[in-house]
Amino acid sequence: MLRSVKYGETSIIAGIYTELFGMQSYLVQGVRTSSKKGPGKANYFQPGTVLDMVVYHNELKQLQRIKEFKWAWLYRHTLSDVVKHSVLLYMTELMQKCLRQPEHHPELFHFMEDALQHLDQAERSTLANYPLYFSLHFCSFFGFRINDEMANSSMLLDLKEGSFVSEPPQHAYYIEGEMATLLAELLKVMQPHELNEITLQQQQRRKLLEAIELYYALHIAEFGKMKSAQILQEVLSA
């Protein structure tokens, strides 16, 4: 579940990335109503929730319908933990900006689901670096993963080409020195728990997130600015 907007008095239109049909929009009726039986079910459609759904799918329609839905699994900590929830909002905004097509891509779906589960289970010591870890692996599904081969003489990362180089490119989109070295270390992290081994200062982390945001903007048309990035930085620095 990536986003939802109100529709009418009781319904929503939900943008959901699905395992079988890729990115889809669903009209979900009546979920904003409450009754004597209990509150409405709009909480099922918060950003980052993972649902098990039975849907009516028609490739000729832009707006689909859901027959049944329930939790695929429940978060234990993320929705109530301020830091984890801020990371979740960053991740779901990045997903929204990149996932626009109704393409069948189960490997991507399972990567996203696994990343959300790992976030819920993550130790406090790995949370600050988790957005960097997710962003660097997520882009590989769109064909522009950064080449992590860094020779001793290659102290610059060309953000247009996604590779480390020894000479400044003919444009301004690159990072160098300490920032390039730190990003190279992060690229070698294959599992979230390994983030414990990388210590970053707040300023370093901010610059790396800005570089990664620029990297996405150079490769995804109309990517724009990450609205959740500033909030994330404020929460992590508190």
Look at residue 153 in the predicted model and tell me its pLDDT.
61
The reported pLDDT for the residue numbered 166 is 87
Integer-rounded Cα Rg, in Å, for the chain is 19
Q: What is the spatial distance between Cα 172 and Cα 162, in angstroms, rounded to a whole number? A: 14
**Ordered per-residue pLDDT tens for the chain, 238 residues:** 999 999 988 999 999 999 999 999 999 998 987 665 555 788 899 999 999 999 999 999 999 999 999 999 999 999 999 999 999 999 999 999 999 888 889 999 999 999 999 999 999 889 999 999 999 999 999 999 998 776 566 689 999 999 999 899 999 999 999 999 999 999 999 999 999 889 999 999 999 999 999 999 999 999 999 999 999 999 988 6
CA 109 to chain CA centroid, Å, is: 12
pLDDT of residue 85: 96
Q: State how many domains the chain has.
A: 2
Residues 129 and 218 both lie in one domain: yes
For residue 180, the number of C-alpha atoms closer than 13 Å in the C-beta half-sphere is 23
Tokens of 231: 């909030």
Residue 82 CA from chain centroid, whole number: 17
Report pLDDT for 222.
93
What pLDDT shows up at residue 78? 95
- Residue 23, strand partner residues: 17
Distance separating alpha carbons of residues 110 and 167, to the nearest angstrom? 38
95 and 185 inside one domain: yes
Q: Are residues 124 and 194 in the same domain?
A: yes
At 215, which helix (H) or strand (E)?
helix 202-219
Whether 67 and 82 map to the same domain: the answer is no
| Shared domain check, 148 and 235 | yes
Structure tokens at 237: 């620095």
Look at residue 171 in the predicted model and tell me its pLDDT: 96
Domain that holds residue 213: 76-238
| Three-state DSSP class for residue 114 | helix
Q: Please indicate, yes or no, whether residues 8 and 85 belong to a single structural domain of this protein.
A: no
Do 25 and 13 meet the contact criterion of CB atoms below 8 Å apart? yes
Supply φ then ψ for residue 155, to 5 degrees: -105, 10
Whether residues 85 and 63 share a domain: the answer is no
Its pTM stands at 0.92
Q: What is the pLDDT of residue 186?
A: 94
Q: Are residues 170 and 133 in the same domain?
A: yes
In order, the DSSP letters of 30-52 are STT--BTTB--SGGGGSTT--EE
